[in-house]
Amino acid sequence: DDALAFACRMPKAELHLHIEGSLEPGLAFALARRNGITLPYADEAALAAAYDFDSLQSFLDLYYACADVLRTPQDFSDLMLAYLERAAADHIVHAEIFFDPQTHTARGIPIGDVIEGLDAGIEEGRARWGIDASLILCFLRHLSEDDGFTTLAEAEPWLDRIAGFGLDSSEKGHPPAKFERLFARCRALGKPVVAHAGEEGPPAYVVEALDLLGAARIDHGVRSVEDPALVERLVREAVPLTVCPLSNLRLCVFPEMTRHTLPQLLAAGAKVTVNSDDPAYFGGYLNDNIRALQAAFHFDKAAWYRIARNSFEASFASEAQKATWI
Ligand code: HPA
Ligand code: ZN
């Protein structure tokens, strides 16, 4: 497939990747051994066999449990470098990478250890593969807004390493409105903000993310198609959607790939990008997502070119930097 080879080789940006979700079973067991931790699974195969999810929450339970092996700055650096190596192999030249500080600070890990470890990995990845990466601090929406304010205060000494802020974790029952004041504060710091919305939650959460949080991109947003007026708005305002096809399939947002709404959003003219979300858990990295889409939809080269171009246009890189890619 000519268009598939073209899409896989094309330089791209990845804008929706949770670094904790790139923790492969092999590295999880290696870090557990290094830190003297016992994982509740016999071996890597037993852990991988547990990746059988029926909802976002069933995934999150395991994702937070596995994150317990991450303890030292070196662990975070190793995790980052492992992802960047995979990203470079998929021709990703720019990545904006989510991390969940509250998952770590709640276990007594200082936020500075998390950020400095991840940042060391980014610098090493830049040196080895020339890949450009930055960090987006995500707040956990199942926790309180006050907890988010505490986390923001803890992160303050490292704000120069933070390219923006995001919102993730359990969507249902935790609407964007819950974080309106926190996100106003983030924007007042001069940083762009994004939010997961319309993954399992309704289109109304996408509207809230735009109107109440000032989200510059919507992470997932695939349920937006249930509200035609919203799709019109996303197109009119050129709101980027960071879509993650294998994630949606594995978390049962859609029963099969042929039912995914990405083609509909793309055809409507929405600024769709393709991303891997939590590649260790969902069966693949960015090019694996591209292959899965192509098997279902057989896009042409022009469509793949549009998607790659969208990824750069939707990024938070400087205009000068973007001009080197587009
Ligand atoms: N949705 C919400 N929270 C998450 C996800 C996701 O896809 N991945 C990691 N945390
Ligand atoms: Zn996500």
ipTM over 0.85: yes
Q: Is 288 touching ligand 1 by the criterion CB < 6 Å?
A: no
**Residue 318, exposed/middle/buried by CB under 10 A (0-12, 13-18, 19+)?**
exposed
Instruction: Please indicate whether residue 90, judged by its CB atom, sits closer than 6 Å to ligand 1.
Output: no
| CA proximity to 212, closest of 191, 173, 184 | 184
Nearest ligand, CA 99: 1
Euclidean distance between CA atoms 195 and 192, whole angstroms: 11
E-strand spans in the chain? 12-18, 92-99, 132-140, 162-168, 194-197, 217-220, 240-243, 271-274
Whether 199 is in the pocket of ligand 1, judged by its Cβ within 6 Å, is: yes
Domains and CATH numbers, the chain: 2-315 (3.20.20.140)
What values do phi and psi take at 36, rounded to 5?
Answer: 65, 40
Instruction: With 0.90 as the threshold, say if the pTM is over it.
Output: yes
CA distances from 170 to 102, 175, 222 (A): 14, 10, 16
> pLDDT by residue for the chain (326 residues), tens digit each?
899 999 999 999 999 999 999 999 999 999 999 999 999 999 999 999 999 999 999 999 999 999 999 999 999 999 999 999 999 999 999 999 999 999 999 999 999 999 999 999 999 999 999 999 999 999 999 999 999 999 999 999 999 999 999 999 999 999 999 999 999 999 999 999 999 999 999 999 999 999 999 999 999 999 999 999 999 999 999 999 999 999 999 999 999 999 999 999 999 999 999 999 999 999 999 999 999 999 999 999 999 999 999 999 999 999 999 999 98
CA angle 151, 39, 50 (to 5 degrees): 95
Do the Cβ atoms of 105 and 151 come closer than 8 Å?
yes
Q: Mark whether 199 is an active-site residue.
A: yes
Question: 134, 316 in Cβ contact below 8 A?
Answer: yes
Catalytic residue among 96, 171, 199, 208: 199
For residue 277, which ligand has an atom nearest its CA? 2
